[in-house]
Amino acid sequence: MNDVGVVETQYLLLSDMGVHEITLESGAKIGPITVAYETYGTLNETRSNAILICHALSGDAHAAGYHKEIGHKPGWWNDAIGPGKAFDTDRYFVVCSNVLGGCQGTTGPSSINPRTGKPYALSFPVITIGDMVQVQWYLMKHLGIEKWLSVAGGSMGGMQALEWALRYPENVYSAMVIASTGRLSPQSIAFNAVGRNAIISDPNWQNGEYYGKAIPEKGLSIARMIGHITYLSEISMEKKFGRKLQNKKEFSFDFSTEFAVESYLHHQGQKFVERFDANTYLYVTKAMDYFDVAAKYGQGSLKKAMQKISSRMFLLSFSSDWLFPPSQTQELVDALIANHKDVTFYNIDSSYGHDAFLLEVEKETSLIQRFLQSSSKLWQEDRYEAA
């Protein structure tokens, strides 16, 4: 398979653009801000082939290709980004950045607060999806792009794509909202709350002041285990693990890790602790909980909120996703239809649950490629007519 090859994360200091601090939706101000990002492919002369990829909760700027220093671990959406892939880097200039509040290069609670010389920890202001998008807007300007051909993302990334289309309609020709929603259900908020509770109940959490000390490993790994349960589906768990025991043939009649599914969750929790900051988990899940486009843009009415959309909209859901179920995407679609917007919606039949957006690459590719190509063509026609 073709890949974009070896890539390097780059860093933008907003202060270099003269932006020393930004005002957040909460009213709080924060700065200086560093943004970690990667790019793949080449920006064309008319700057009309740029695509912003937005990552989900635990993602980072490394969306495709390989980093030299960490062996050969591919980017988180390597299956979808590259030559000939869904986001074809032979045609498009693809950008991905780590979100504000993140812990993989962009300013977040684990970053050093220059005023104190210590990590922000809980002195970092509470952020929203809109704040993340605002920071990405500066990155866009820095890259010399006026309008994205598309802003695309799955899960929390889909929320950012939707926010982009609402917040900066003039900068977004099309938006792809994949396995996502206009607002979390109380059920999803509940799962996030349990995850946060696991972290803050860990004795090592110390009100967030654990940097340089023992980290709240148990809490964070439990939060990740809960997350993983919500990413799978009943069928996918049955297929993947069944009731198989991991290392033995008989029950040991104690509380050790016995079932294959238990072992999987443990492993995922453990892996996560090695690369993710517990405080970022708190901030980012809270940002997702607050996200509500109907409230923010439509005074409670989704239909009214969708009036503001001028981008071509592409929405994808997955039949077995119960975290961000197809019905939530359908609500967005209905609101877009009611406003006679340019909307395309497909519900992919999949047993993978929420994780499907990372796994059903083949089906996504045929849809995404066609949508991007027609968007690219329509945009050129629009420009031609306008000229």
Partner 1 sequence: MRRLEEALGMRVDLGVMADWIAQGSKVLDLGCGRGELLSYLIHHKQVRGIGVEIDEESFLACVEKGIPVIQRDINLSLKDVEDQSFDYVIISQTVQQLQRPDLLILESLRIGRYVIVSFPNFGHYRIRLNLLFSGRMPKSKALPYEWYNTPNIHLMTIKDFQDFCHRYQITVHQWYYFWQTRGGKWLLLPNWFASGCLALISRRDEYEKKA
Token pair, residue 126, equals: 């509470």
91 belongs to an annotated ligand binding site: no
Query: Which of 30, 33, 31, 35 lies closest to 11, judged by CA?
Result: 35
Our finding on whether 374 is near partner 1 (CB under 8 A) is: yes
Our finding on whether 338 is near partner 1 (CB under 8 A) is: yes
Our finding on whether 383 is near partner 1 (CB under 8 A) is: no
Using CB under 8 A, pick the residue from 187, 366, 380, 382 that binds partner 1: 366
Active site residue 188: no
CA dihedral (264, 266, 270, 272) positive or negative: positive
Q: Which of 221, 317, 321, 350 is catalytic?
A: 321
Using CB under 8 A, pick the residue from 194, 377, 380, 382 that binds partner 1: 377
Are 59 and 76 contacting, i.e. CB atoms less than 8 angstroms apart?
yes
Active site residue 321: yes
Using CB under 8 A, pick the residue from 17, 370, 380, 382 that binds partner 1: 370
Binding residues among 306-325 for partner 1 as defined by CB under 8 A:
312
* Cross-strand bridge partners of residue 70: none
Helices 156-167 and 278-290, interaxial angle, to 10°?
50
Judged by DSSP in three states, 30 sits in: strand
> Rounded to the nearest 5°, which phi and psi values hold at 257?
-75, 110
The CB density around residue 377, as the number of other CB atoms within 10 Å, is: 10
Distance of CA 24 to the CA centre of its chain: 19
Judged by DSSP in three states, 29 sits in: strand
The CA-based diameter of the chain, rounded to the nearest angstrom, is: 75
Are 77 and 52 contacting, i.e. CB atoms less than 8 angstroms apart?
no
Our finding on whether 92 is near partner 1 (CB under 8 A) is: no
Our finding on whether 262 is near partner 1 (CB under 8 A) is: no
Binding residues among 184-243 for partner 1 as defined by CB under 8 A:
none
Q: Least distance from C-beta 374 to partner 1, angstroms?
A: 3
224 belongs to an annotated ligand binding site: yes
Are 171 and 137 contacting, i.e. CB atoms less than 8 angstroms apart?
yes
* 9 or 307: CB nearest partner 1: 307
Using CB under 8 A, pick the residue from 52, 156, 222, 343 that binds partner 1: 343
* 232 or 313: CB nearest partner 1: 313
* 208 or 326: CB nearest partner 1: 326
Our finding on whether 26 is near partner 1 (CB under 8 A) is: no
* 96 or 335: CB nearest partner 1: 335
Number of residues interacting with partner 1: please give it, by CB under 8 A: 23
Q: Which of 48, 58, 150, 155 is catalytic?
A: 155
Q: Least distance from C-beta 360 to partner 1, angstroms?
A: 13
Are 100 and 33 contacting, i.e. CB atoms less than 8 angstroms apart?
yes
* 23 or 327: CB nearest partner 1: 327
Q: How far is it, in rounded angstroms, from Cα 181 to Cα 189?
A: 13
Using CB under 8 A, pick the residue from 38, 341, 352, 358 that binds partner 1: 341
* 137 or 346: CB nearest partner 1: 346
Q: Least distance from C-beta 80 to partner 1, angstroms?
A: 16
Provide the strand spans (E) within 122-173. Answer: 150-154
Query: Which of 40, 43, 35 lies closest to 12, judged by CA?
Result: 35
Our finding on whether 301 is near partner 1 (CB under 8 A) is: no
Token pair, residue 298, equals: 């439509």
DSSP string, 233-244: -HHHHHHHTTT-
Q: Least distance from C-beta 318 to partner 1, angstroms?
A: 12
93-97 and 312-318 strand pairing: unpaired
Q: Which residues are annotated as a binding site for substrate?
A: 224, 355
Active site residues: 155, 321, 354
Q: Which residues are annotated as a binding site?
A: 224, 355
Kindly list the residues in this chain that would bind partner 1 in the complex (CB under 8 A): 312, 330, 333-334, 337-338, 340-347, 366-367, 370-371, 373-375, 377-378
